[in-house]
Amino acid sequence: MYRREKTLQRKVSRLLRTYPVHSLYIMKSVPFILLFGAAAGIGISTFVEDAHGTPFIQTYVYGTWWFKLLWTTVIVTSAALFVRRKMWKNFPLLVLHLSFGVIFAGALTTAFTGHKGILHLRKGQPTGEYVNERKQVARLPFMMCLDSFRIAYYPGTEAPADYVSQISCQHIDGDIFARPIVSMNRIFSAQGYRFYQSSYDEDLEGSWLSVNYDPWGTGITYTGFCLMGLGCLLLLCARGGDFRRLLRHPLIRKGGLFLIALFGGCQLKADPALPVVKRVQADSLAIQQVVYNDRVAPFNTLARDFVQKIYGRPSFHGITPEQVVSSWMLYPEEWNRTPIIHIKNQELRTALGLKEEYASLNHLFDGTQYKLQPLWQREQGNRSKLAQAIQETDEKVGLILMLRQGTLVRPLPPDVSPLSTQKVNAELWYNRIPFSKILFMVNLTLGFAAFGLFMFRMLTGRKEKAVSRRVWGTALCLTTLFHATGYALRGYIRGGFPLSNGYETMQFVALAVLLTACLLQRRFPFTRPFGFLLSGFTLLVAYLGEMNPQITPLMPVLASPWLSWHVSLIMISYGLFAFTFLNGILALCLIGKQKNTASPITGEQIEQLTLLSRLLLYPGTFLLGTGIVLGAVWANVSWGSYWSWDPKEVWALAAFIIYGISFHRKSLPYFQHPWLFHGYMILAFAVVLMTYFGVNYLLGGMHSYANS
């Protein structure tokens, strides 16, 4: 009995030495528990907002005292742990963690001292009153008067490029002290108040300005942003820092110092009875410039998009898009009888009495009765597939009617500058080459083949031959070059960095993944199949999803360099996180293999994957944080609020928190176990997927461009 008690005491003592239960252990756990809880809580709140509306969630969650207390507790407990462990001696860590406290202090200051409102100005009518957030009338310390308001359009189109208000500001005694211009991304500041262009009256005789009074909070928050950027740079450059130690690790040196480079079916013949314009005549129309989709474009672009939209393919039974559009304009009666309108939904085809997937325009009308009208009245308000199919078909009918009425094809006005020959040729080449379709098919095929060969070599222990390495490396570089060419063409055609909608951001993610794989593939062979597969699936989603690949001019609020950098950095971070996700899957497979057959080579591969993921976490997390900061600056410049708890903002913050926690291996020793670390990386990537896809397709919000 005595021996058993002694044995039990020794086991308990050993357990306590292994997992000490004392104040420091409890203290170092509390901040991370709170952070996990906060990240989960704000994520859940986005679904509550979707169900009950933004005012509800602002009133009962984001605007409450307990929500502020929660974040205050996170900051206080984190600071206590920071001081308790004397981490303030590490200057880069001190700067980075201090920045979080300063940002929170700025946000808290804004919440308590700042206020917002809406100012309505009418031409020639001075006013000094505005309506605040509480729907109460508040007074400005000066008077404002609208001198004029105008809408600036893109050349030759009816697409707004900017909204411009010319304003006079005067003291109470009537002396004018400023005549500012307020427009999108151009604010006016006076006596602590900032004014942003928000809306306008239909008669163009009035303008609505957002009012923001935040004399202290914004400055404090921006100081925190600067400290955060400085802290990230110091952590990457510090000689004794974890990042530099990882770079010097023998297994990483064996794998290459890549991060330096990282930063530095057959077609049928046409119906012979169908009148068609000759190919030579139609081809001459391709380069003619028209006003389409609120921009100047070659006729080829309009015709191609029209046929793609109506028929589901860029050509019709071997007839070019130019032939289809010009023939329909010249021979409308014959083409109205042609089954060319693609209807995918079986239920709708049954309701219309169709046996095939294609309907003619005449088939959709029974005399003067539009067959879709009673179907739409019955399904209106439902979110069924039938209702969606009716809406899509009605849109196709509308395009055909616009073509017949002559409102779809609009010639270039004489007072509008035409596109250069180089730009027209670039767009013609872009239309002829289906970059996304070719790339996702090629990359997925190569990716599965490369992954199969890699798994075969890993399981059999065979080394990759030099010839195979060169062939796969060349294929990866060629696909990257091909994709970069298409992406650059799109940017050249649009006249700016193409990041304005979901389709373009997916293209950028694929490009970032391919470039990263090119830089890593020489020393880390497993990044080749990862690069092919990630980019292939990304391009497949862009190709098959409900994203609009048409090239349109930017909305005025989106025409900002802050937005381009914001989206670019966040998309690159997503690509890096995707590599940690695939690293995690491969590492868990190797860990499972090692349990059955212990091998020193397998253990080395697992450690190498762990080191690579830890390295990628640094640029990935820092780029995500920097992207969030730049997005906050853009939002503040555009509409006067650097943080609005929009669902996209919430999930981006949650992703930053989740990935940021994984750096704290000393405070959370669980991350020192490879299988726990890689499992965490796999689960963390689900937050990234929710941030990008979930918000766009499930929650919506200001950042949602699922239908853009």
CA distances from 158 to 299, 447, 538 (A): 18, 45, 33
Kindly state the percentage of the chain with pLDDT values over 70: 81
3-state secondary structure of 319: strand
pLDDT at 244: 67
The pLDDT tens digits of the residues spanning 337-374 come to 888 888 888 888 888 888 888 888 888 887 767 787 77
Separation of alpha carbons 387 and 625, rounded Å? 41
The pLDDT tens digits of the residues spanning 29-49 come to 788 888 888 889 888 988 888
| 644 membership: H or E segment, kind and range | none
274: left (phi over 0), alpha (psi -120 to 50) or beta: beta
Q: What is the average pLDDT score of the chain?
A: 78
Please tell me the number of Cα atoms within 13 Å of 199 on its side-chain side: 6
pTM of the model: 0.65
Do residues 644 and 702 make contact, with C-beta atoms less than 8 angstroms apart?
yes
pLDDT band at 684 (very low <50, low <70, confident <90, very high): very high
Question: Which phi and psi angles does 461 have, rounded to 5°?
Answer: 80, 10
Separation of alpha carbons 646 and 702, rounded Å? 7
Q: Beta strand 365-366 with 410-411: parallel, antiparallel or unpaired?
A: unpaired
Query: How many Cβ atoms sit within 10 Å of the Cβ of residue 45?
Result: 18
The pair of structure tokens assigned to 230 is: 């400085």
| 499 membership: H or E segment, kind and range | none
Query: How many Cβ atoms sit within 10 Å of the Cβ of residue 250?
Result: 9
Mean pLDDT of 503-507: 78
Q: Calculate helix-pair angle for 561-596, 527-544, nearest 10 degrees.
A: 130
The pLDDT tens digits of the residues spanning 100-126 come to 999 999 888 988 888 888 899 999 888
Strand residues in 15-101 grouped as ranges (E): none
The pLDDT tens digits of the residues spanning 457-503 come to 765 667 778 788 888 888 889 999 998 998 888 888 877 777 766 67
Separation of alpha carbons 492 and 485, rounded Å? 10
DSSP string for residues in 557-577: GG--HHHHHHHHHHHHHHHHH
Amino acid identity of residue 205, one-letter, is E
Separation of alpha carbons 191 and 170, rounded Å? 12
Strand residues in 288-398 grouped as ranges (E): 289-292, 295-298, 341-342, 358-359, 365-366, 369-370
The pair of structure tokens assigned to 52 is: 């009950």
Domain boundaries, the chain: 116-213, 279-424, 434-553, 564-708
User: Both ends of the chain: CA-CA distance in Å?
Assistant: 75
Confidence check: pLDDT of 271 > 70:
no
Do residues 74 and 38 make contact, with C-beta atoms less than 8 angstroms apart?
yes
Mean pLDDT of 297-325: 83
pLDDT band at 287 (very low <50, low <70, confident <90, very high): confident
The pLDDT tens digits of the residues spanning 55-87 come to 888 888 888 889 889 889 888 888 888 887 777
Q: Calculate helix-pair angle for 372-379, 385-405, nearest 10 degrees.
A: 140
Q: b/e per residue, 564-591, with b = 16+ CB within 10 A? A: bbbbbbbbbbbbbbbbbbbbbbbbbebb
Supply angle C-alpha 8, 12, 14, rounded to 5.
115
